Amino acid sequence: MSTKKSRVTIKEVAKAANVSTATVSRILNNRDGEIKISEETKKLVNEKAKELGFRLNPFASALRSRRSGLIGAVIRDIGDPFLAKLIKKVQKAANEQGLELLVGDSGYEEQAAEHQVSLMISQMFDGVLIFTHTGKEFIEKLGRDSVPYVSITGDYYNLENPRVHTNDIQGVNMAIHHLVELGQM
């Protein structure tokens, strides 16, 4: 029979450091208040938290702040070399902003993409990037529900939705014009 060790609480850290739970919470969550906490107390609390094996509960923090620090990206094909490079850049940019990026692969399936986006939103993600096709009604619903998202696809629904789209026809015309100027065509 195994005994599962319970998670160390803020109360236990506070008792070990001989400070209030509010002080521990402020220190461990990096929140400054009107009353300043000495560096000595911060060091002591952090040492006690480490000794006891305390870990912040991201869900509790997310409930308090209404922010999880997570953003989602749903892409059409994780094996697509262009998208793989793009997702790496997006993840780097997210990390630089203190966010974590989690990725879902829809496999070019509109219903799978919509399910993944809905799941991310229901799990307290702060926002979603959509790199695949979704239905017009789904995009309209995201807008009505004030979901933070950006569509990065070729879905042209003439909606006033946050999106980044390419104009493939204009891009091809520019490429051909450039090659003609170079004398290559």
Q: What are phi and psi of 72, to 5 degrees?
A: -110, 155
pLDDT digits (tens, 9 = 90+) for 115-168: 999 989 887 788 899 988 888 888 888 888 888 888 886 555 666 666 666 666
Look at residue 65 in the predicted model and tell me its pLDDT: 61
- Report the DSSP beta bridge partners of residue 127: 71
Whole-prediction pTM value? Answer: 0.62
In the chain (185 residues long), the average pLDDT of successive 10-residue segments reads: 70 93 84 82 93 79 69 93 92 88 93 91 86 83 83 66 69 81 76
Mean pLDDT of the chain: 83
What are the Cα distances from residue 182, in Å, to 16, 169, 176, 178? 73, 20, 10, 6
